Each structure stands twice: as C-alpha cells, then as structure tokens.
C-alpha cells in the first residue's frame, strides 16, 4: 500500500501553531505520521484563510510556520462557480476554502482530510456522502493510523453498569472536568456518590470512558421537549488518549438503547460549543440544540417514542433511521436482505455478542492471542465479494452467523440499516472507503487483493439492534424463512419472510 496522505484544515493547524499548548491528540497524530512516513499537507488555500486573521502577531507567526508542512497547490483554473456547483453555496470566504479542501480530497490529492469544523463535516455529508467518511476529526485520524500501522490488542468490549461510588475520584479522567468546574469534587461526592447515581463505564487497565445518568421528570429538568420520563446524561467523558477508538459511539449507543428500551420520552445532555466532535455525534443521531443555559451550556435533546416509525415512499429511509436511532422503518417499501458472515468477521464487527470465555482463557495461556480491535462503532463497514447489489438506503440487513466454534452458531444475530455500497478496486480504495469506520489493519486490507477484475464490496451500515435471543437455523427453517440450506451469499428476503422474521427477533425497539 502506498503511504497515506492527510490534508489538515486550518482550524487544526492554528490550534497547533498558536501560542497555546499543543493538544495531546494533535501531538499524537503528528508523531505517528512522522514514524510511519505519512504525508501531512497544508493546502495553499490555508494561506488565504490565515491571512484573514485580524490578529497581526498571530497571523505572522502562523504564516511563518507554514514552511514546516508540505504544501498542496491549488488546481489551476478552478473557480468558485465550479466549487459551488459541486459542494453547495459558498457564502463566505471560508466556505470557498472548505470547498477547495473537499475538491482536493475528491481529486485524490490526499487520502483523508482532518478538520474539527462541524460545518465542513456537514457539507461533506450533504454534498459528497461517499467522500464524507474520509473527512475525519483529529482523534479519528489518530485512531486510523494506529489501526492501519500499529494494530494492538484492545481489551475492552463491554459497557459496565456501575454506581458512582465504585469509581475513584482520584482518577485523572476527571482532571479536565475540574478545570471547567470549580466545585466538581463536591458535586461528585454529594450528587453522584451520596445519591448512588448510576453510571456506564468502560474499563481497560483504567477507566476509559464514562457516562453518569439521572432520571428526571417534567417538573424538575432542564429539558424543553415534552415528556414525563426524562433521562439526563450528567457526565459524558472519554479519556483523551482513548478518543478515536469510538468509545463515544459505544457509550452513546448504550444510552440510546437503554432509554428506548425503558420507555423514556426524552434524553438530553449539556455541553459547550468547543466540544465539536461530541456535538457532531449527537446531531448525527437526531439530537437538537434546544436552548442555552447561562450563555455557555448548550442543551441537546432527543425525543423518543414507542410508536412505529413513519415515513413516506419518497423519504431516504437511512436518514429516517439515523435521526430516529435506534428505531427504524420497516414499511412495505423497505427491502430486506440476509448477510451471511463468518465467525471471525462477526466477532470483529459485533464483539458484544462474542461468547469469549474459552477465548479469554486461551489468550491468558498465550494461545490464539493476536491483534484485534473491537467494533465499538454504531456506523460500521462490512467487506465481501457477494454478487448481490444493495441500492436502497435504509434497507434492512440481517446478519446470519454461520457455523462457529463459539455460540451463537448458525443464527441471525444482528439487525443493520444499509447506508450505501461502493466497489474497491485496490488496497488504496479499500483504505479510503473504510477509513472512518475501519477495524482492519493494512495487512488485512491488503489480503483482500482487491483489483478491477476482483473488486471488493464495501457496505456501510448502522448497527440497529441485536436479536434477543439470536434466531437459530431450526427456527428460521420452521418459519420458512430459510429452506434446507442457509444462504451462502447476500440474499433478498421477500415481504412474507420479513414479516415472519421480525417477531422472532424480539426487538425491544426498532419498528
């Protein structure tokens, strides 16, 4: 594989090069990029962006340091009309720069674009969805370098339900919270520990991520959306060095699945404007900014419902599922497919379902241990060479785990919501198409041996639900969903079979 190339937006560059301390995330990325000879570029248009800085001293310092980065030159003759036609209205000079960066990415001048600008992420999603997964936050870019070049064992797979008193206040995960909240220690002792507040936590050798939750009512809440049963996320924290491993998605999935399953009407949290990556994640899954407290605390809320999801025939059913997550639409217009998946791929994509008692024992004995990276994401990617073509966003995909050493074996385990599919004709294509969600190392991608004659399908989907319990092959045959032999490649389910399957899944949410 050719070395990856990354294009850095000015908001990342300025954060690195002004007189503030370099963030750990940026420093880690640059150290990894240098170690693995990865190209890091600043676009020529960045000079125009920096030149608009009204702080003359800072502008001079920033411009003087451009020389340490490779410069990506503009495409000659590229005008604003062409950029606007491709990437939407350009109302401000910064919009032109954003569109120029996307144009460079689309043209292949870089493999990935790093930006903390949510507006640029949103522009990519709206006007170039296939391109948007190559637009990364700095933490995700760092994680991608690690998974590509330094795949390591990641021991955590599960979110634990704990009480606040189980978590030591001395853990340095709380340091940044103390910086922004003088009374944090007293709040933790009085409001969390003394009240035995429930938390979701992810541990490896230390506390890696944490959500503190609180149940509220309409009479005692900062939420503005209607509802009697309200779930507040009081604290949402991922250890800085663990950002990029998608723990934020893992914890948010836990919160949303819990809230939906337990009949909450509203789920909400407060955050600050500088938490760009968190806000982008929240908005992607249907949270909306409803109000601002004390002029600094942004309130993001999501309305939940136990009614069936509604949609019109002309709707994008993926967008319906995304904004209603974890619920999804199952109307007559929605196609459905069974996707057979081998045990190794299943365990990588859906580690929560892996019965690994035996595997953990063997690993402790030094048998079978190897680089693995769990699928913490809600947004996932599946690779295959099946002849089937999935074309309708929002299609339902049911993963059927084949004969396996560990249970579940020969069973439908998981429901996904299809987003899109692309063909990778080279390892570089695979790297670019799977980059924002990849659980694959460079060697794993190379082993697919993707060529124009033997392309690999890259299927993007949302993890929507797990069957409870998994639907075994005997049940599938008894309901005439499968014949004598389970499918060996992606197969379409007709409406009768889909209607027979859905009740067997015992979904707590979804339809």
pLDDT tens for 325-341 read 999 999 999 999 999 99
Nearest Cα neighbor of 4 from 125, 121, 122, 114 is 114
Start-to-end C-alpha separation, the chain: 43
Report H helices in 107-183. 118-127, 129-132, 138-149, 175-180
Q: Residues 299, 224: contact at Cβ < 8 Å?
A: yes
pLDDT band of 362, cuts 50, 70, 90: very low
Which run of H or of E encompasses 34?
Answer: helix 24-35
Residue 55 CA to its chain's centroid (Å): 36
Do the Cβ atoms of 438 and 146 come closer than 8 Å?
Answer: no
Question: If you average pLDDT over residues 347-367, what whole number do you get?
Answer: 60
Residue with tokens 């560990």: 406
Q: Are strands 230-238 and 207-216 parallel, antiparallel or unpaired?
A: antiparallel
Specify whether the CB–CB gap between 167 and 210 falls below 8 A. Answer: yes
DSSP 191: I
Q: Which of 396, 389, 286, 387 is nearest to 333 (CA)?
A: 396
Q: Using one digit for the tens of pLDDT, what is the confidence trace for 377-430?
A: 899 999 999 998 899 999 999 999 999 999 999 999 999 999 999 999 999 999
CA distance 66 to 43: 10
Q: Which residue has the tokens 């385990």?
A: 413
Q: Let me know how long the chain is.
A: 511
The pLDDT score that the predictor gives to residue 313 is: 86
Instruction: Decide if 7 contacts 107 (C-beta within 8 A).
Output: no
Q: What is d(CA 254, CA 226) in angstroms, rounded to the nearest whole number?
A: 22
Reference 321, options 509, 136, 130, 478; nearest CA is 509
With CA atoms as reference, report the closest residue to 498 among 315, 329, 375, 370. Answer: 329
* Inter-residue contact 136 to 113 (CB < 8 Å): yes
Give the Cα separation of 304 and 227 in Å (integer).
Answer: 9
What is the reported pLDDT for 176?
82
In this predicted structure, the answer to whether residue 251 has a pLDDT above a threshold of 60 is yes
Q: What's the CA gap between 61 and 81, in Å, rounded? A: 33
**Is residue 16 scored above 60 in pLDDT?**
no
Report residue 127 as tokens: 């006007």
In whole angstroms, what is the distance from residue 76 CA to residue 476 CA?
Answer: 59
Angle at the Cα of 7 from the Cα atoms of 3 and 13, rounded to 5 degrees: 130
CA distance 267 to 260: 9
CA–CA dist 322, 250 (Å, integer): 15
Beta strands in 217-275 (DSSP E): 230-238, 266-271
Residue 480: DSSP 8-state: T
Helix (H, G, I), strand (E, B) or coil at 326: coil
The structure's pTM equals 0.84
Q: Which residues contact 139 (CB under 8 A, 6 or more apart)?
A: 25, 243, 244, 277
> Confidence class of residue 449 from pLDDT cuts 50, 70 and 90?
very high
Percentage of residues in the chain having pLDDT higher than 70: 89
Q: What is the DSSP letter of 145?
A: H
Q: Which helix (H) or strand (E) holds 24?
A: helix 24-35
Kindly tell me if the per-residue pLDDT of 50 is higher than 50: yes
Interatomic CA distance for residues 322 and 466, integer angstroms: 17
Average pLDDT over residues 270-276: 90
Per residue in 164-216, pLDDT (tens digit) is: 999 999 998 898 888 877 889 999 999 999 999 999 999 877 898 999 999 99
Ordered domains of the chain (ranges, CATH): 5-149 (3.40.50.1010), 160-303 (3.40.630.30), 336-504 (2.30.130.30)
Both structure tokens of 375: 């699928």
Interatomic CA distance for residues 337 and 349, integer angstroms: 18
Alpha-carbon distance of 92 to 52, in angstroms, equals 12
For 45, what's the count of Cα atoms within 13 Å in the CB-facing half-sphere? Answer: 22
Averaged pLDDT for residues 221-235: 95
Q: With bands split at pLDDT 50, 70 and 90, how would you rate the model's confidence at 370?
A: very low
Q: Reduce the DSSP state of residue 442 to 3 states and report it.
A: helix
Average confidence score pLDDT of the chain: 87
Chain centroid to Cα 114, Å, comes to 15
pLDDT of residue 361 exceeding 70: no
Confidence at 367, pLDDT banded by 50, 70, 90: very low
- Per-residue model confidence (pLDDT) at position 60: 80
- β-pair partners for 457: 384, 423
pLDDT score at 21:
40
Query: Is pLDDT at 65 greater than 90 in this prediction?
Result: no
Distance CA 279, CA 309 (A): 24
């Amino acid at each position: 594989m050719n070395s990856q190339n990354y294009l850095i937006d000015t908001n990342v560059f300025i954060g690195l090069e002004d007189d503030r301390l370099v963030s750990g995330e940026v420093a880690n990325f640059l150290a990894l990029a240098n170690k693995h000879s990865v190209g890091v570029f600043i676009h020529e248009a960045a000079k125009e962006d920096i030149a608009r800085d009204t702080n003359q001293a800072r502008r001079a310092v920033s411009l003087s340091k451009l020389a340490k980065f490779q410069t990506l030159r503009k495409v000659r003759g590229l005008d604003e009309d062409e950029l606007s036609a491709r990437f939407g209205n350009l109302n401000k000079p910064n919009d032109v720069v954003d569109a120029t960066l996307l144009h460079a990415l689309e043209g292949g001048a870089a493999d990935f674009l790093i930006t903390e600008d949510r507006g640029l992420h949103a522009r990519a999603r709206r006007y170039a969805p296939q391109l948007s997964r190559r637009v990364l936050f700095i933490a995700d870019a760092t994680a991608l370098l690690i998974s590509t070049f330094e795949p390591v064992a990641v021991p955590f797979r599960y979110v634990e339900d704990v009480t606040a008193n189980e978590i030591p206040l001395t853990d340095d995960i709380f340091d940044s919270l103390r910086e922004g909240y003088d009374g944090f220690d007293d709040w933790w002792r009085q409001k969390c520990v003394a009240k035995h507040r429930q938390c979701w936590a992810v541990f490896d050798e230390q506390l890696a991520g944490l959500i503190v939750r609180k149940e509220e009512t309409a009479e005692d809440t900062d939420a503005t959306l209607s509802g009697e049963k309200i779930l507040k996320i009081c604290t949402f924290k991922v250890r800085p060095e663990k950002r990029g491993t998608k723990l934020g998605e893992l914890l948010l999935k836990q919160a949303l699945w819990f809230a939906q399953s337990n009949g909450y009407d509203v789920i909400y949290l407060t955050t600050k404007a500088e938490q760009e990556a968190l806000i982008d994640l929240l908005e992607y899954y249907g949270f909306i900014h409803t109000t601002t407290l004390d002029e600094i605390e942004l309130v993001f809320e999501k309305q939940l419902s136990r009614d069936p999801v509604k949609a019109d025939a002309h709707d994008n059913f993926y967008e319906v599922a995304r904004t209603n997550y974890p619920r999804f639409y199952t109307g007559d217009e929605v196609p459905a497919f069974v996707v057979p998946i081998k045990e190794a791929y299943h365990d990588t994509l859906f580690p929560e379902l892996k019965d690994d008692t035996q595997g953990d024992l063997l690993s402790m004995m030094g048998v079978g241990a190897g680089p693995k990276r769990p699928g913490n994401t809600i947004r996932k990617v599946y690779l295959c060479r099946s002849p089937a073509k999935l074309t309708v966003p929002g299609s339902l995909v049911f993963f059927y785990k084949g004969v396996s050493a560990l249970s579940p074996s020969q069973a439908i385990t998981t429901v996904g919501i299809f987003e899109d599919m692309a063909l990778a004709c080279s390892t570089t294509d695979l790297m670019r198409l799977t980059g924002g969600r990849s659980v694959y190392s460079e060697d794993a991608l190379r082993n697919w041996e993707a060529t124009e004659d033997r392309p690999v399908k890259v299927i993007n989907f949302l993890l929507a639900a797990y069957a409870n319990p998994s639907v075994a092959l005997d049940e599938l045959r008894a309901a005439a969903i499968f014949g004598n032999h389970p499918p060996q490649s992606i197969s379409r389910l007709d409406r009768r079979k889909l209607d027979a399957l859905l009740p067997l899944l015992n979904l707590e949410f979804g339809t």
